[in-house]
Structure 1
Amino acid sequence: MPRTNRLTSVELCAGAGGLALGLEQAGFDPLLLLDNRDVACETLRANRPGWNVLHKDLLQFEPRFELPGHREIDVIAAGLPRVKSAATASRPRGSSWELELFETTARLTVELRPRALLIENVPDLLKRDEYESSRSRVAKHLEDAGYEHCWLLLDACEFGVPQHREYAVMAAVREGGITSFIEGLRPFPPAPGLTVGAVLRASMSVNGWPQVGEWAAQADVIAPTIVGGSWDRGGGDLGPQGSVRAWAKVGVNGRALADSSPSANFVWNPSQGPAHMLKLTVEQVAALQGFPSYWTFEGRKTARYRQVGNATPPPFACALGVALRSALTTL
């Protein structure tokens, strides 16, 4: 896309860059990416040395000092930390911090006056009554500032991601155009290559593992939701018991991650228990999140996996960006 036709973004809670990468593919260039985790900032800088990355807590962000002299911002995008949901029911604390970040993002939007705002989170942020007061405060901030907004429940698997991954997406547009955004979100037709077996077959075979064809054929399904990326729990695994059971159905041991693809002498036989199931590498999980193979993640294995597990899948982010770009360029 010609540089002169590109729009601008500011990204809050940027993480490992899944949302930023998708928006970049859709024609947005970031003026600033902010995250409170140093390892995530290292990942962003390693992949895009030219990006302006700020290691800072969103609640401490002061745009007048850290985003001085900016030209008009087309979109503020935020993949905010997840509120407590059914998938994180065992989390001992509530969601007061996450809701504060949600409301802070709305206040920053009013202050910075971007043309649009894009927020994604778990569906429970929209569905649960306990979050209604926070949603209402955010809506009032935006409406008083002249923004139209909408909420959408979307599954990333309908937008080119080989994984069932549901989101609550809130979009707001300052100059109208919210209907155009909604109409521009067109799900992709199912693609045979977007299954666990198809996506991971090549990487499973790099060490000459002879059973790769047998495994890939029975793994002809869209991946279950990748969880376990929480910074509040455990080590590197594919999530709680429900996730472990879902992965076991395709012969994958979800209780741990592998350092490399299976060796040539590995015997895959799920009937003999977890020791004879496959384990996924961080890179393979990233592929199921829709990251391109060239995107790297900094830190040790568990920190890398948490970045991947928390990320917005880039193809999904790109679809959101394309719809938003279309709405903004037709105003």
Structure 2
Amino acid sequence: MALEVVEICAGAGGQALGLHLAGFKHRLAFELDSNACSTLRENARLRNIEVSNPEHVEDGQWVVQGDVADPQIWTPDKFTGIDLLAGGVPCPPFTIAGKQLGATDERDLFAWAVEQVAVVKPRALLLENVRGLSMPRFRGYRQHVLDRLQELGYQAEWRLLHAAKFGVSQLRPRFVLVAMRPDDFAYFQWPEGSEERPPSVGETLRDLMAENGWEGVDDWVKKANDIAPTIVGGSKKHGGADLGPTRAKRAWAALGVDAYGVHDTAPPYSDKRPMTEYGPKLTCEMVARLQGWDHKEYKWTFTGPKTSRYRQIGNAFPPPVAKALGLAIGAALRHEGEKRQLETDRAHDLVYRALRAAGDFMTVEQIMAKADIQLTDPEIERRITLLSRDFEIAKVEQSTGDLAYKLVEFKAFVGQNDHLRHEYVRTKPQTIS
């Protein structure tokens, strides 16, 4: 019997396709962007995604458009016991190129997604995000997630996976959270991928660059002799379709690619849009190839105007990485392979844990004693400052003159009816990506 998945923030289907190839059937998918919803529906119609209720494919009922955190959109208790709850919740709250607002970013849904486990009680949880979430800035956030899942009876781990190890011709690290009940998680093994170098950009795109008879393609392939930098779908707040910030554009230029936009066709170009000194531009089809959509196995259809198609592709989870994770999760749920000894305690932020366990005011000296760590006072205070970006931290001066700190509450949206996120989504849905 096939395993079933409910996917939130599904985007254009990179994760959906990978899970489909790993043997999962979709019960339901939620997505805010209308063009991405159309993409999902079209590819289900083409049978690139398998749906649990085939009768829902033609009328598109298996895809729900809207804010998944809206109670009128998402009723989690209808899916209690699903095999897998998966999603790629918004990245801007954690991206290194952004402000890293974390829990105070109105677009943040990571903590909310974790809270759905309390109702859905899935056999497994899979959430992916950008590498920024793995940085020291978010130690406390990650610890909160692990501790909360443990309270709900789940074992969880984070892992940074590199798409290039799964055959994707791109430098694309993704930070992944997997959680299961301990008796299932004991069989989970993180996919390791391969140490072999994936094909270069030139090797990957040669046929697409040559499809209009461009005479310079062989020289271009020689120059494009490395994998691509991270493809950036970009925020809906800013600009059109280009391949990323200044550093990324320099990396693309070294590969002979003009990163200042996306073209409609392969070269040679007309005089109205000539090739620049940097080289040819990529098309959406080329970007999809670099993102891991393997044209030899299947043809994926992206809907909407060019900028939307590019963003759908650029923000996607590479299908080969999603497939590897889906296979690993499926094997664990079937108790295949060797059972491992679980680590019972995963510590990402000992300062956070000390404050949380105490539930009262603590001095720096008391925090170090509770956490069993030796750090300088300024280092402890720096960590508390980082924590205060995601958690309310109360501070008092004791009679001795020492400062004491108390962890009050998590600032993140976890479903509160009065949270400012509701107004943000109502008035600025077009800026959420």
Which residue in the other structure is 1:148 paired with? 155
Q: Describe the SS at the equivalent of 2:116.
A: helix
Greater Cα shift, 54-63 or 238-247: 54-63
* C-alpha contact (below 8 Å) 1:19/1:317 kept by paired residues: yes
2:86 alignment partner AA = A
Q: What is residue 294 of structure 2 aligned with on the other side?
A: 292
Q: Counterparts of 2:172 and 2:293 in 1: how far apart (Å)? A: 14
Change (3 A) 1:152 1:241: same
Residue of structure 2 equivalent to 1:11 = 7
**TM-aligned CA deviation for residue 175 of structure 1:** 3.9
SS in 1 for 2:238: coil
Distance in 2 between residues matched to 1:256 and 1:37, nearest whole Å: 22
SS of 1:274 mapped into structure 2: coil
Give per-residue Cα distances to partners, 1:30-51, cap 9 Å, x unaligned: 1110011111111101111326
Check 1:64–1:17 CA distance in 2 against 1; reply closer, same or farther (3 A cut): closer
2: CA distance, partners of 1:126 / 1:92:
12
Q: Gaps (5+ residues) in structure 1?
A: none
Are 2:293 and 2:300, in contact at CA under 8 Å, matched by a contact in 1?
yes
Instruction: Report SS of the residue matched to 1:117.
Output: strand
TM-score after normalising by structure 2: 0.68
**What whole-Å deviation, never above 9, does each CA across 1:118-171 have from its counterpart, x for those lacking one?**
111112212232x33432332232111110000111111111211110111111
Count the aligned residue pairs: 317
Distance in 1, matches of 2:309 and 2:74, equals 32
Superimposed CA distance per residue, residues 196-230 of structure 1 (whole angstroms, 9 cap, x where no aligned partner): 01110001111011111111122121111111432
Change (3 A) 1:94 1:296: same
Distance 1:64-1:119 versus aligned 2 partners, 3 A rule: closer
Q: Of residues 16, 26, 29 in structure 2, which corresponds to 1:20? A: 16
| Contact residue 76 and residue 116 of structure 2 kept, 8 A | no
Is the aligned partner of 1:122 residue 2:130? yes
- Residues 274-328 of structure 1: CA distance to partner in whole angstroms, max 9, x if unpaired? 3461100011001000113411111111111111110000001101111111111
Displacement after TM superposition at 1:96 (Å): 2.7
Task: Note if contact 2:206-2:221 (Cα within 8 Å) is conserved in structure 1.
Answer: yes
Summarize the Cα distance change of 1:276–1:225 in structure 2 as closer, same or farther, 3 Å threshold.
closer
TM-score norm. by structure 1 comes to 0.88
Q: Which structure: larger Rg?
A: 2
Distance in 2 separating the partners of 1:224 and 1:315: 17
Paired position in structure 2 for 1:79: 88
2:141 alignment counterpart: 134
2:178 aligns to what SS in structure 1? strand
Matches within 5 A, 1:28-43: 28-43=24-39
Name the structure 1 match of 2:394: none
Rounded to whole Å, the distance in 1 between the matches of 2:301 and 2:96 is: 27
Is the 8 Å Cα contact of residues 30 and 66 (structure 2) preserved in structure 1?
yes
Instruction: Please list every run of at least 4 consecutive aligned residues from structure 1 whose deviation after the TM superposition is greater than 6 angstroms.
Output: none
Aligned partner (choices 161, 174, 178) of residue 167 of structure 1: 174
Q: Flag the 1:12–1:253 CA change in 2: closer, same or farther, 3 A.
A: same
Instruction: Provide closer, same or farther for how the CA distance between residues 83 and 242 of structure 1 changes in structure 2, counting only shifts above 3 A.
Output: same
CA gap 1:262/1:133 in 2 versus in 1, 3 angstroms: same
Shift of 1:53: 0.4
Would you say the 8 A contact 1:82–1:98 is kept in 2? no
The answer to whether the 8 A contact 2:17-2:319 is kept is yes
Inter-CA distance 77–66: structure 2 relative to 1 (3 Å threshold): closer
- Cα pair 1:230 1:309 within 8 Å, conserved: no
* Cα distance in 1 between the residues matched to 2:100 and 2:133: 18
Alignment match of 2:113 (pick from 100, 105, 108):
105
Letter aligned with residue 246 of structure 2: Q
- Pairing partner for 1:59 from 45, 62, 69: 69
* CA–CA separation in structure 1 for the residues paired with 2:17 and 2:77: 21
How far residue 10 of structure 1 moved from its aligned partner, in angstroms, is: 0.7
